[in-house]
Amino acid sequence: MLQRIISTMVVVFLFLFPFSNISGAEENNQRPFYQMEITYHPQKDQVQGKMNVTIPVTSADGLKELYFHLYPNVFQEWKYGEEAKPSKPGKIEVSQVKVDGKSVQKSVKDTIMKVPLPSAKSKGELVRAEMDFTLDLPRGGTRLNTFQKTAFLAQWYPMLAVKDKEGWHIDPYTTTGDPFYTQMSDFEVVFHVPKGYQVITTAKDEPSASDQPIRLKQTKVRDFAAVITQDYQVKRGEADHVRVNLWYVKGMEPVVDELHQAAKSGMTFFNEKFGRYPYEEIDIVLGETGYGIAGMEYPGLITSIPMIQTDQGERAAVNVVVHELAHQWWYGVVGNNQVKEPWLDEGLTTFSEFYYMHKQMNEDERDLLKKAAKRTDEIYQEVGVTSAEPLYKYPDSVYGLMVYIRPAAMMYDLIEKIGEEKVVEILRSYYDTYKFKIATTQDFIEIANKVADQDLSSFFAKWLHFK
Ligand SMILES: [Zn+2]
């Protein structure tokens, strides 16, 4: 994600921060495989779904239950700030839950659903969960939203929680940052939408033929986002054999060419610097996706506001598009626990954004990063948070500076220390090593040490932990 406040940081920083194609899914035995049949009812702001998930048991201690995130329930009784409160609430209701063909009693608490297994499963076995769901879309929701003739489906289906050596990750929602952590999965989704609606998704999208269901497939992604719309038009293009589609609505025409160009050149730039984007398509959907959010990343689909405010007035939101695009590398392909270590994807993404703006757009913000880094030293003294904390530790007012900006400044300092080529090589090696996996801060530091051929632990400890 990019906060609105950070997207325009160049202008406001000093004033506003007084602190401030792969193998077929059928053969996959390592990843969850979601099959969904989705019907959209625009008159009711409702989505009905049937979902089967086949889950390989990968943990040594087996499985006794499953946990799913039901994020839309956060919009039922909004517990956070008034400014982001939906004008119409939303929720998701799950029914007919079966595991391996047997009905089971699920239990739901806020955004977490527990599904017991009829019998425990061991490593190497498969579990098949089936369920129906009804999603009532909020109006004015954050990320998950509907307006005019468009539905933004984000974190919208029952999403399997991650179980790793730390156990189940069933962290609650929060409005700070992106409180989502999911694993690589395969998807097969069939959409039934009324005539005239298009479906823009994580998968390589197909033009809607009238009255025909739209069948989409995507392997090796962490999430499956979709925009169902009658409002959007598209400008298509290609960069490095990746289809780059920019979606916009009436009134955004003046920025379409510039943002489409930025997305294409960003794709080429990051491919060259970090390693190839592994999918066939990226969709950039322009528009507001929630209070305070300038842009948001999903696999194969990003959102961005069309314009940002600068000291020279409004201009096309190139840096937001480029930021969300860079998340395809940091978050999308190389995953991390975004709740526990948000700096890892946001910091590397913010560095990638600044690096692109510096190299391709001639906007050198290194002095600003240095000033911002000094400011974070004061914040550490005043608030007591470092740059490597879980989401819940950060007051909103310091989150962007600590988690986005300071790590970006750190990467520039690393360039001064070991040279630009080495830093790019670290990122390449990190991408290559953790592609389609989950990486941690420690993994990143180990890669850096190896590539730089020196122990950088104290460098990272100073920047991330203020030690
Ligand atoms: Zn971000």
Q: 426 C-alpha to center of ligand 1: Å?
A: 20
Q: 406 C-alpha to center of ligand 1: Å?
A: 14
Q: Please say if the pLDDT value at position 28 is more than 90.
A: no
450 and 323, same structural domain?
yes
Contact 154, 177 (CB under 8 A): no
54 phi, psi to nearest 5 deg: -100, 125
250 and 108, same structural domain?
no
DSSP state of 211: T
251 and 143, same structural domain?
no
Contacts of 241 (CB under 8 A, 6+ apart): none
- Tokens 């066939």 locate to 280
Q: At what angle do helices 318-326 and 342-361 cross, to 10 degrees?
A: 130
95 CB neighbour count, 10 Å cutoff:
9
Q: 193 C-alpha to center of ligand 1: Å?
A: 31
DSSP letters of 334-387? BB--TTT-HHHHHHHHHHHHHHHHHHHH----HHHHHHHHHHHHHHHHHH---S
Range of the domain at 326: 2-20+235-465
Q: Return the CATH number at 402.
A: 1.10.390.10
Q: Please say if the pLDDT value at position 23 is more than 60.
A: no
Q: 319 C-alpha to center of ligand 1: Å?
A: 11
Spatial distance between the Cα atoms of 33 and 23, rounded to a whole number of angstroms: 13
Q: 334 C-alpha to center of ligand 1: Å?
A: 14
Q: Please say if the pLDDT value at position 289 is more than 90.
A: no
Q: Please say if the pLDDT value at position 25 is more than 50.
A: no
Strands 159-160 and 167-169: unpaired
pLDDT at 11: 47
R_g over Cα of the chain: 21
Query: How many percent of the chain have pLDDT more than 70?
Result: 94
Q: 6 C-alpha to center of ligand 1: Å?
A: 10
Spatial distance between the Cα atoms of 21 and 123, rounded to a whole number of angstroms: 27
Tell whether 321 is covered by a domain.
Answer: yes
Q: 290 C-alpha to center of ligand 1: Å?
A: 14
Spatial distance between the Cα atoms of 42 and 229, rounded to a whole number of angstroms: 10
Among 182, 201, 218, the domain-final residue is 182
Contacts of 392 (CB under 8 A, 6+ apart): 174, 176, 339
297 and 167, same structural domain?
no
Q: Return the CATH number at 52.
A: 2.60.40
Q: Which two tokens stand for residue 177?
A: 């940052």
Contact 94, 159 (CB under 8 A): no
Q: pLDDT-based confidence at 9, cuts 50/70/90?
A: low
Q: Please say if the pLDDT value at position 154 is more than 60.
A: yes
Which is nearest to 302 in space by CA: 330, 276, 274, 275? 330
Q: 301 C-alpha to center of ligand 1: Å?
A: 13
Q: Please say if the pLDDT value at position 14 is more than 70.
A: no
Which is nearest to 205 in space by CA: 285, 97, 322? 285
Q: 64 C-alpha to center of ligand 1: Å?
A: 35
Tell whether 283 is covered by a domain.
Answer: yes
DSSP state of 44: G
Tell whether 419 is covered by a domain.
Answer: yes
Q: 73 C-alpha to center of ligand 1: Å?
A: 23
Q: What is the mean pLDDT of residues 265-290?
A: 96
Contacts of 348 (CB under 8 A, 6+ apart): 326, 329, 330, 407, 411, 427
116 and 11, same structural domain?
no
Among 149, 164, 182, the domain-final residue is 182
DSSP letters of 271-304? HHHH----SSEEEEEES--STTEEEEEETTEEEE
Q: 148 C-alpha to center of ligand 1: Å?
A: 27
Q: 285 C-alpha to center of ligand 1: Å?
A: 16
389 and 333, same structural domain?
yes
The amino acid that residue 323 corresponds to is H
Which of helix, strand or coil describes residue 454? coil
pLDDT at 8: 60
Contact 390, 403 (CB under 8 A): no
Q: 345 C-alpha to center of ligand 1: Å?
A: 7
pTM tops 0.85: yes
Q: What is the mean pLDDT of residues 172-192?
A: 95
* pLDDT tens sequence across 114-142: 999 999 999 999 999 999 999 999 999 99
Among 148, 165, 182, the domain-final residue is 182
Q: Which two tokens stand for residue 310?
A: 């600068």
461 and 393, same structural domain?
yes
Spatial distance between the Cα atoms of 193 and 212, rounded to a whole number of angstroms: 9
Spatial distance between the Cα atoms of 414 and 358, rounded to a whole number of angstroms: 16
Strands 167-169 and 162-164: antiparallel
Q: 2 C-alpha to center of ligand 1: Å?
A: 4
Tell whether 227 is covered by a domain.
Answer: no
Q: 331 C-alpha to center of ligand 1: Å?
A: 9
Q: What is the mean pLDDT of residues 91-103?
A: 98
Q: pLDDT-based confidence at 210, cuts 50/70/90?
A: low
Q: 362 C-alpha to center of ligand 1: Å?
A: 21
Spatial distance between the Cα atoms of 463 and 448, rounded to a whole number of angstroms: 14
63 and 6, same structural domain?
no
Q: 322 C-alpha to center of ligand 1: Å?
A: 10
Length of the chain: 467
Q: 119 C-alpha to center of ligand 1: Å?
A: 41
Contact 246, 260 (CB under 8 A): yes
Q: 184 C-alpha to center of ligand 1: Å?
A: 19
Q: What is the mean pLDDT of residues 298-321?
A: 95
Tell whether 361 is covered by a domain.
Answer: yes
Q: 29 C-alpha to center of ligand 1: Å?
A: 31
Q: 346 C-alpha to center of ligand 1: Å?
A: 5
Domains of the chain: total: 2
Q: What is the mean pLDDT of residues 401-426?
A: 98
449 and 408, same structural domain?
yes
Q: Which two tokens stand for residue 55?
A: 């889950």
254 and 109, same structural domain?
no
Q: 404 C-alpha to center of ligand 1: Å?
A: 8
Q: 268 C-alpha to center of ligand 1: Å?
A: 19
Tell whether 221 is covered by a domain.
Answer: no
Spatial distance between the Cα atoms of 204 and 181, rounded to a whole number of angstroms: 23
For the chain, what is the mean pLDDT?
93
Spatial distance between the Cα atoms of 292 and 294, rounded to a whole number of angstroms: 6
Q: 48 C-alpha to center of ligand 1: Å?
A: 30
Chain centroid offset of residue 51 CA: 22
270 and 364, same structural domain?
yes
Q: 297 C-alpha to center of ligand 1: Å?
A: 7
392 and 282, same structural domain?
yes
Contact 160, 101 (CB under 8 A): no
Q: 327 C-alpha to center of ligand 1: Å?
A: 7
